[in-house]
Structure 1
């Protein structure tokens, strides 16, 4: 239908007779005041004609009755008449939109989103041609998977077998949109226009899922950029979309690491070198943290940054000498959220992450960790602790396990997975909270709150510290674990931290045994622990298995640490001598410090000696020890 047909339809619907539409200025004014072009009115006529067994005149009569009924209910003022007319037209638009197939309706949704932002439809062609060759260098998030699947379904009909752009298929769908009056062209070659009622209708349906459509439009922009090209056509296109890329980043749109790397090219082409530097620094920071500074992708990012520095006439820092203060002034961008290493390099690691997040419903915090380098605060034979910062400013501890000749990477992943499985099941005020897992420098890591007061032995040396209270809290944690059929396996002062409000938090579950088959991961369970805290049965028998009674023995040694501030057998320098002493059945001597810090020194010493009984069966349970200290308190 053309404009005359549309006005004729409106005349029939409204019960107005006139020879020529243009002679009735009042009718045109009504349309103009309502900000509706004649095109949407076509929808009402098309719907009535296609969905009625009667002719157009009869359909119009029925439609007019509906209009008049609405006017009678709402009054007859011109404003209400106009509102009723708009409402009826909007209803007709909604009916027509609901009759579209899924592909056409999704296509129109994206067109609306792009049209509102002035993004040219050329993006469709370039994105369609680029999607078949686009590969993410990092495992995608669930949202990114959804975006990719959505776009493949949307763009596949516009591709031929090569795959190359099928302009005919695209134009057929655009023609359908024109025929149904969803789109219009003011003049040939111009950006399509969109009637306000159509735009408002579809925008209204997108409110709940607006972030998703923003991600789709962002990914379309990224796909349309060809990093391998630098010809005039490509450079002109980058200049064309620069305002839209700028809008996505400034307004806080989520972008992935690979998208950000492509948007850097747009900034460089457009001469926005400061913005290019800021964005590239974040890309480099993430890749340095996630992959290590010697990874090829990190080195490529460094080379790109060097180019930007040269363009700005600045010195180029060496990637190997990047310091924490180098990144301290960087703002947080909206880089999303899961920068990780290439999937083909970490498929076992990626499988474990997916298992824990999808099956065990644990949080993957990779995307929540800040991009800045973190400080390593402690390290041991197989692991390191890093002090990091989340994007919301929360300080966290990041625990990694390190591979070695005796413990290859595959086994380290198993150790870490086992610790995650055990730790994540624990929920007690005196057990350090497990916040989630992450991928850090190509390793599976564990994230927990940062404990500012250090370990329990260090905290006990502070003036006013109640050592019996610390022992009570620690025994409460162990009693809870044993009630959950979990054996810690490495209890000592260094593995009991203290929060800012003085709460003891037991940690380090690397040697934990969970006595449930559903979380068991096959790793040798014999022995383990730290010699000065280990029960004699673990030192005497090569096949001895860690047990609740061995935990109690180590708990007693940790109590001794809390009161003395020193490790067990501190007067003996060599561990082999300590082992010989323990296996002979000899325990620590009574220290004078116990009497200094509690008036129940005899009772406390008796508790410690019970923990160290040679026969494991004679040792009390952790629950009983908790009761002993509760009585003292």
Structure 2
């Protein structure tokens, strides 16, 4: 047994093996429980890295579920069937969200524990488009793990639809958080957010819809970026037919995206990151209650309309340098904007 590592991961494996050898059959874990523990510990079924799944009109939700299960995403369909999901926590045009207490598998123990979670069901006009959108988001979300990315706990098939499961974050969005937390560390929150975007960009991912509503804050004050519904990745292991590319939300859109001259891009993410930082410091969306009509769009595109300096941003050397950095994020010329790496390094330079 000297091949089992002498650390917490190894201890978990040993506890699992010991349970498998229990004298009483009823005390042994099921095959599903064993699989969940091994998946949670990072063990994956070996597959050719070049293998893909082609998303066609004939594909079924069961095919997609099998693909994600083989790639280590935990299927909670059986657990979810024990719940009567009739009253959504939140209904939006793009998704229905349920908040429930679910038996979740953790990587440091083989016995599941109960955790409050959000179950997200993507909505669309047709079942095919709904499955396609949900599959894209689940693929992006499951591909990357980082302290500042909201964890994906798993997926489920709910009423024939693909659903995603993530932890419930009580504090809500970053804008809700700063309104309630009068001692919030604004600069620290912005630094964490820039770190998350730098992580995505470094791994070839364009988020595509950075805004305050898509940034949560945990009870420990940790930023958690979410919502990968319009994200873009250079290489996909699911081969999609042509899919329209989302461009984010208007108030956060860069001039070239507002002009419809560009799809989502890293430079567009940087512009939206700057606008989200303004949200954090002002407790309000960019431009506040001002309607963004034709004239306002023209001013944004020309670079003559930008947010003013928030009063919460200190007038010291650090605050002045930060404000100059934000103004670069809103450059009309995308090439003049700083990269996510530049922004993060600037914020942690102290």
Bin the TM-score by the shorter chain: 0.7 to 0.9
Secondary structure in 2 aligned to 1:594?
A: coil
CA drift at 1:568: 0.7
Q: Is the 8 A contact 1:531 1:575 kept in 2?
A: no
* 2: CA distance, partners of 1:536 / 1:574: 13
Aligned match of 1:511: 230
Listed as ranges, the gaps of 5+ residues in structure 2 are: 1-20, 34-57, 104-112
Q: Going by fraction, where is strand more abundant, 1 or 2?
A: 2
Does residue 591 (structure 1) correspond to residue 302 (structure 2)? The answer is no
Aligned match of 1:482: 201
Distance 1:463 1:379, change over 3 A: same
Aligned counterpart for 1:366 among listed residues 55, 77, 83 = 77
Aligned counterpart for 2:69 among listed residues 336, 345, 357 = 357
When Rg is computed on C-alpha atoms for both structures, the one with the higher figure is 1
Secondary structure in 1 aligned to 2:143?
A: coil
* 2: CA distance, partners of 1:548 / 1:520: 22
CA drift at 1:379: 3.1
Does residue 403 (structure 1) correspond to residue 115 (structure 2)? The answer is no
Q: Going by fraction, where is helix more abundant, 1 or 2?
A: 1
Listed as ranges, the gaps of 5+ residues in structure 1 are: 1-205, 216-253, 255-345
Distance 1:374 1:562, change over 3 A: farther
Distance 1:448 1:523, change over 3 A: farther
Q: Is the 8 A contact 1:569 1:578 kept in 2?
A: no
Aligned counterpart for 1:384 among listed residues 96, 108, 111 = 96
Does residue 437 (structure 1) correspond to residue 146 (structure 2)? The answer is no
CA drift at 1:435: 0.7
CA drift at 1:519: 3.8
Secondary structure in 1 aligned to 2:247?
A: coil
CA drift at 1:593: 2.1
Give the TM-score taking structure 1 as reference length: 0.43
* 1: CA distance, partners of 2:114 / 2:226: 23
Can you list the C-alpha shifts for 1:262-316, whole angstroms capped at 9, x where unaligned?
xxxxxxxxxxxxxxxxxxxxxxxxxxxxxxxxxxxxxxxxxxxxxxxxxxxxxxx
Aligned match of 1:615: 333
Does residue 546 (structure 1) correspond to residue 258 (structure 2)? The answer is no
Aligned match of 2:13: none
Aligned match of 1:418: 136
* 2: CA distance, partners of 1:455 / 1:468: 16
* Aligned residues: CA RMSD: 2.8
CA drift at 1:626: 0.7
* 2: CA distance, partners of 1:517 / 1:584: 36
CA drift at 1:455: 0.6
Name the structure, 1 or 2, with higher relative contact order (CA <8 Å, separation 6+).
Answer: 2
Q: Is the 8 A contact 1:491 1:558 kept in 2?
A: yes
Can you list the C-alpha shifts for 1:105-132, whole angstroms capped at 9, x where unaligned?
xxxxxxxxxxxxxxxxxxxxxxxxxxxx
Matches within 5 A, 1:15-26: none
Number of matched pairs: 293
Aligned match of 1:314: none
* 2: CA distance, partners of 1:347 / 1:519: 12
Secondary structure in 1 aligned to 2:162?
A: strand
* 1: CA distance, partners of 2:282 / 2:93: 26
CA drift at 1:527: 4.7
* 1: CA distance, partners of 2:61 / 2:313: 52
CA drift at 1:384: 2.2
Aligned match of 1:451: 169
Distance 1:365 1:508, change over 3 A: same
Aligned match of 1:170: none
Secondary structure in 2 aligned to 1:433?
A: coil
CA drift at 1:621: 0.7
Secondary structure in 2 aligned to 1:395?
A: strand
Distance 1:368 1:570, change over 3 A: same
Q: Is the 8 A contact 2:140 2:228 kept in 1?
A: yes
Secondary structure in 2 aligned to 1:432?
A: coil
CA drift at 1:375: 4.8
